[in-house]
Structure 1
Amino acid sequence: MRVLVCGGSGGIGSACAAALTAGGHDVVAVDRDTADVAQPGGAEKAVSAAADALGGLDGVVHAVGRSGRRLGDGPVSACTDEAWREVLRVNLDSVFWLLRAALPVLRGNGGGSVVVVGSALARTLDRDFLTAAYLTSKSAVETLARAAAFEGAPDGVRVNVVAPGLVDTPMAARALTDPAVSGRLPELMPLGRGSASSPDAIAAAVEWLLSPASAQVTGAVLPADGGWSLR
């Protein structure tokens, strides 16, 4: 399988690239220093470069994202314009741009699979994670992925979302080092028994959605959240 991983230097993205490579797949991993898919034209550049390098594409992973806390993301009544614009650009616009670029290429190859890393927060509100821009971006990603899945299905192109809870990555460091949040992990993610998910666990879910084992799955949101969404 020939796979493009966007966000390849991040915690989840790098875990995906490593797992796919270890599984014998041909992988091109890009980040914002090589092809920034969160900027206009970046997704087209990434898809074209990967398809050229690999001789085509069978799979695409979108693992690009950011928190807007430092920019003022928070409750609707307090969220700043800067946080709103920046978070939606990185978390939502980049998915749109990547899907728009990838769908024709996968269709031309006879089919393929796209997996977008979303968030359990898209469906489950929580007092410690009430960030309007982030929540909106991840919720919208699910609808966008379903629209792409509907479009791509007749041509054998699948599009799915993996929705983690808290993952032990640099982006989650603020929450995981906050005693008020870390003390709630047994409640928030009961499968973890007090621990956040590992990036490798999310990568395993991504790899399954890319593989023929999930050939009949499209337009789905896979909760890989340690039980977060059960609340």
Structure 2
Amino acid sequence: MKRLLVAGAQGGIGAACVNAARAAGAQVFEADRDTYDVTVSAGADAAVARAAEALNGLDCIVHAVGMSGRRLGDGPVDECSDEAWHEVHRVDLDSVFYLLRAGLRQLSGSGGSIVVIGSALASTLDEDFLTAAYASAKGALVPLVRSAAFTGAPKGVRVNIVAAGLVDTPMAARAMTDPAIQDRMPRLMPLGARACSPDEIADTALWLLSDASSRTTGAVVPVDGGWHLR
């Protein structure tokens, strides 16, 4: 890992990826909605092109863009609002497609690694986390990333997902401050009975970007304290 683009660089997980990569000696190009809006095709294309120009090439990409739609009405299927459904899919799914497409076009020929930050909610259900828009958007990342990995493999491009559990970031403030959810942590995340830190997600992302994972592609790597075992 030498030259890295981080989309969503100002978020909790994105910022942790930026800091960890720089500490490991990487050159990092930061993109966020204030600079490059990857939820639209042109923004994703521009972010990749500008990163490659600024860094004199590109080796790796992290997609750490995401949102919770609860304030817009995300919830169980029979309660989820139209606004939440469309906005969450635009931010959490469309942006991945656009960045993967631009990333594959850039890295094909030179090779590289792309990591998408996903969620344990893509494959698990829980009464406190019934979010139809968010869960379906994160769930759709799995076939999308596998398809990108299949396309990229002959060209030397690896694509993987880090499936995060509850992470102590501002986006998770509701769960982090809800006493009832905190009391359930030993059952939700039995490995340590606590939320993950952004640094723990970043450490796994960096492993997937590095040569240490050179034979890994199309994988969903859980970093969720055991949530997926439920």
Superposed pair shares fold, TM > 0.5:
yes
Counterpart residue number, 2:217: 218
Report the Cα distance in structure 2 between the residues aligned to 1:5 and 1:173, rounded to whole angstroms.
Answer: 23
The offset of 1:179, in angstroms, is 1.2
Q: Deviations over 1:86-134 (max 9, x none)?
A: 00000000000001111011013x2100000000010011111010000
Which structure 1 residue ranges, 5 or more long, are not aligned? Answer: none
Partner of 1:32: 33
Output the amino acid matched with 2:168: D
**1:204 equivalent in alignment to 2:203:** yes
Matches of 2:41 and 2:178, distance apart in 1? 35
TM-score (norm 1): 0.98
Give the 5 Å matches for 1:119-158: 119-158=119-158
Runs of at least 4 residues off by over 3 Å: none
Match of 2:187? 187
Which residue does the alignment assign to 2:55?
54
**Residue 114 of structure 2: aligned partner:** 114
In the TM superposition, residue 40 of structure 1 has moved relative to its aligned partner by: 3.4
In structure 1, what is the equivalent of residue 69 of structure 2? 68
1:228 corresponding residue in structure 2: 227
Q: How far is 1:187 from its partner?
A: 1.0
Q: Aligned-pair distance for 1:182?
A: 1.1
Tell me the secondary structure at the aligned position of residue 150 of structure 1: helix
- State the partner residue of 1:7: 8
TM-superposition CA deviations, 1:146-176 (whole Å, max 9, x none): 0000000000000000001000000001111
For 1:190 and 1:130, the matched residues in 2 are separated by 20
Give the match's secondary structure for 2:221: strand
Query: For 1:168, what is the secondary structure of its paired residue?
Result: coil
Determine the structure 2 residue equivalent to 1:43: 44
Q: CA deviation at 1:39?
A: 2.6
Distance 1:167 1:87 in 2: 18
Q: Separation in 2 of the partners of 1:230 and 1:180?
A: 21
Structure 1 residue identity aligned to 2:36: A
Within 5 Å, give how 1:149-188 maps onto structure 2: 149-188=149-188
1:145 alignment partner, SS class: helix
Rounded to whole Å, the distance in 1 between the matches of 2:206 and 2:116 is 11
Gaps of 5+ in 2: none
User: In 1, distance between residues paired with 2:113 and 2:155?
Assistant: 11
Give the distance between the partners of 1:67 and 1:126, measured in 2 at CA: 16
Q: CA offset at residue 183 of structure 1? A: 1.1
AA aligned to 1:115 is V
SS in 1 for 2:95: helix
User: Which residue identity does 1:199 align to in structure 2?
Assistant: P
What's the C-alpha RMSD, in Å, of the aligned pairs? 0.7
Q: Distance in 2 between matches of 1:172 and 1:8?
A: 17
Whole-angstrom distance in 2 between the partners of 1:178 and 1:198:
17
